[in-house]
Amino acid sequence: MKNKALLINFIGVCLNFYLLPFLFRGNANETILILVVMPAITIVLGVSYTMMNQPHWFYPVIVGVLFIPTMFIFYNLSAIIFAMIHFLGFVVGCLVGIIIKNLISNKNLSRT
């Protein structure tokens, strides 16, 4: 089950990085996509990953590294900062997921 959840999250990250820019290529909304939508999706994926799995230190690094090839496909080298933004966004998502997971488990413990 954990491997399936990890695979689903990995596919979500790849779709976020590789499919969305392809769909919005040359569109006026491309700037909004890279500045707002893609980092927001990365944060949501971080939360969902942590809710389904134990957080691992290497997965946010993988998310940041997965963004690097998109610089050569869709953007230019000035987009390197977005690899760090997605890394940090995933870390923030993981932290939020940990907090939510702890709040849910504390509520369940207090009910019993």
Type of residue at 33: L
Joined tokens for residue 14: 């790849």
State pLDDT tens for residues 20-59: 888 887 777 778 888 899 999 999 999 998 888 887 888 8
Place of tokens 């230019």: 76
> How many angstroms separate the CA atoms of 112 and 61, rounded?
38
Joined tokens for residue 19: 């499919």
% helix / strand / coil in the chain, to the nearest 5? 85, 0, 15
Residue ranges of the domains in the chain?
2-111
- pTM reported for the whole predicted model: 0.86
Cα first-last separation, the chain: 27
State pLDDT tens for residues 59-75: 889 999 999 999 888 88
